Structures are given as C-alpha cells and as structure tokens.
C-alpha cells in the first residue's frame, strides 16, 4: 500500500550585509518552522531561538491541537518579552510554517497541516503535476504578511507597486514579543505538495517569478533550498536568509521517495488541494458551517473552470 513520504531540508545563511544571524528554524518531527528575530544582535537571536524552543516541545506529542500550539506561542511571548526587559530593549520574532496535526499517518496522503503565521516571514505551496514535476502555475503564498507595507495595500491607500517603493518592507505589525500581545493566523492545509517556508531575506531578494521558478524545480528539497539561498545572496544578500523546503508525496512501501525524471514543463496538477483560514474559535476538527461551505464553493468553482 502506498504511504506518505515527507522529505525536507533547511538552510540558513547570515547574508552579505549582516554581522550575525538572527534567524532560526525547526526541521523535524512534523515541525517545519522559520523564525526571524529582531531587536539587534543577541536579542534577535535569542528571540527566534526561544520561540522555536517553545514550539519544539510539540515534537514528542503525536497529535497536536490549536490550543497546544497557542499555548506554546503564549509561552514564547512571555519569554521573549523577558529577553527585551533584560536587555533594556524590545526583542521580537516572526514565526511561520507547518505543524503536522497527527504524526501517526498510516494512509496515503491522509492528514492535515496547521499553517501558522506571525509577522512577515512566509509559507508557500505548489502542487505536484501529472508530468512528475511541480506545477509553477499553482505556486502561491499561503500566509498574509503582517507588515505596514501590506497594511497600506490592504486598506487601499497604495497600490502594491507604490507601497514597494515608499513603505519599508521590514516594519512588521505583529510579532512574538510585541508589548501589544501576539495574535497568530492559523490555516488548515491538505497534506500533499511542496511547501517553501522562508524569512524575508529570501523572498525580498527575488522577483515573484524567480521565487516561483526556483521553488518548483523538479529537484530534491535539499537542492531547492540551496538554490533559493544562493539566489538570495546573488540578489544582494541584504538580510539573513533562511528556508525550509518540505516535499510531501506518495511513495511505495519499500521506497523512501519516488524520484521522477527531470521535466520543468508545467503540467496539470495531480489532485485537488485545499487550504482554508481558521477563525479565532475554530480548530481543524471543528470548522464551522460557513468555513465548510466556503470550501465547497471553492471546489465547485474550480471544477467548473
């Protein structure tokens, strides 16, 4: 019987213009997360490492819930606030990525991810295509930036092109360690596909087209992670650059991963794939009727197109 293969790779680089690396990542036990620290030097490094240390306690928990994740985030919030107080400054960190709901997956491509986001690090996704590669046309950003730039775009004050010129990209509106508290976004995502999780030091150095093209190369996760970091450095390397690439595929029982021939031609996607934002009161197993109806309408619209 086919089973799920999860292949992942993580890589972090200090960049070309920073004196230290304030990014951290998790890449293990169904936890694939990136945190980008802020507050300068020691405070930033400590903030991102502390946040992921708190989330890392879920590694020994086979079934995760939203309340468990939120508890870890709130613990991180208090610890990062303490770091800022100790250093007589403000410490903070972004957080984004995947948390596997149930690590005991024994059916082909069954199960769900929590996608969590605070700040302006990003999580992306691409579908598998029928030709065995990754479908560049399906590559999309799952998370929504919590930043002043995104805020003026959302409010209609500026078009994206103007906001990119006039609003600094690194002013974020949510962070773990914020004196105003922390408010994460939660999404439910289907299991399969390629997920790319990265700090702004990666995506801000690349055009959207370049980001999509590199992320969907028909190469193993490790090679894609290296190419993304190299491209970020070639693009200027203005910031720390961190990426986690997670490939979720169906494999035969005796094969760790099905490796397909090289083919960069976009093709039809292998299957339907869904992601939905959870409201403040929802968990994966308790989505309300309006969310479920929205999912049904999205699926019907795709089937008609």
pLDDT band at 86 (very low <50, low <70, confident <90, very high): confident
Q: What is residue 126's three-state secondary structure?
A: strand
Element (H, E) at 294: helix 289-304
> What is the pLDDT, as a whole number, of residue 294?
54
Query: Cα–Cα distance between 275 and 188 in angstroms, integer?
Result: 6
pLDDT tens profile 101-152: 998 876 555 689 999 999 999 999 999 998 889 999 999 999 999 988 888 8
> What is the pLDDT, as a whole number, of residue 288?
66
Query: Cα–Cα distance between 102 and 117 in angstroms, integer?
Result: 19
The domain locations on the chain are 3-276
Encoded tokens for 302? 């795709």
Encoded tokens for 75? 């613990």
> What is the pLDDT, as a whole number, of residue 268?
45
Encoded tokens for 60? 């020994």
pLDDT tens profile 249-299: 976 543 333 333 333 334 444 458 999 999 999 999 887 655 554 554 444
pLDDT tens profile 39-85: 776 799 999 999 999 999 999 999 999 999 999 999 999 999 999 88
Q: For 3-276, CATH number?
A: 3.60.40.10
Query: Cα–Cα distance between 279 and 227 in angstroms, integer?
Result: 36
pLDDT band at 303 (very low <50, low <70, confident <90, very high): very low
């Amino acid at each position: 019987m086919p089973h799920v293969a999860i292949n992942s790779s993580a890589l972090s680089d200090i960049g070309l213009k920073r004196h230290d690396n304030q990014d951290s990542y998790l890449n293990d036990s169904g936890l694939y997360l990136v945190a980008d620290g802020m507050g300068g030097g020691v405070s930033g490094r400590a903030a991102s490492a502390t946040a992921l240390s708190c989330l890392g306690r879920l590694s020994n928990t086979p079934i995760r819930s939203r309340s468990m994740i939120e508890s870890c985030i709130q613990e991180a919030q208090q610890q990062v606030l303490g770091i800022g107080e100790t250093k007589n400054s403000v410490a903070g960190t972004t957080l984004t990525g995947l948390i596997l709901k149930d690590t005991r997956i024994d059916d082909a491509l069954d199960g769900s991810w929590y996608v969590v986001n605070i700040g302006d690090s990003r999580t992306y996704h691409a579908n598998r295509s029928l030709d065995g590669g990754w479908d560049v046309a399906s590559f999309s950003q799952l998370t929504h930036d919590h930043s002043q730039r995104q805020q003026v775009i959302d409010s209609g004050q500026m078009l994206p092109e103007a906001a990119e010129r006039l609003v600094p990209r690194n002013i974020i509106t949510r962070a773990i360690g914020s004196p105003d508290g922390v408010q994460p976004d939660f999404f439910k995502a289907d299991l399969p596909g390629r997920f790319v999780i990265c700090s702004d030091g990666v995506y801000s150095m690349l055009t959207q087209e370049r980001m999509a093209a590199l992320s969907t190369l028909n190469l193993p996760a490790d090679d894609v992670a290296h190419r993304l970091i190299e491209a970020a450095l070639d693009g200027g390397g203005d910031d720390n650059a961190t990426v986690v690439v997670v490939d979720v595929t169906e494999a035969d029982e005796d094969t760790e991963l099905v490796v397909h021939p090289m083919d960069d031609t976009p093709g039809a996607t292998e299957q339907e794939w869904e992601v939905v934002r959870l409201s403040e009161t929802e968990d994966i197993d308790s989505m309300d009727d309006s969310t479920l109806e929205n999912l049904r309408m999205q699926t019907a619209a795709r089937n008609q197109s």
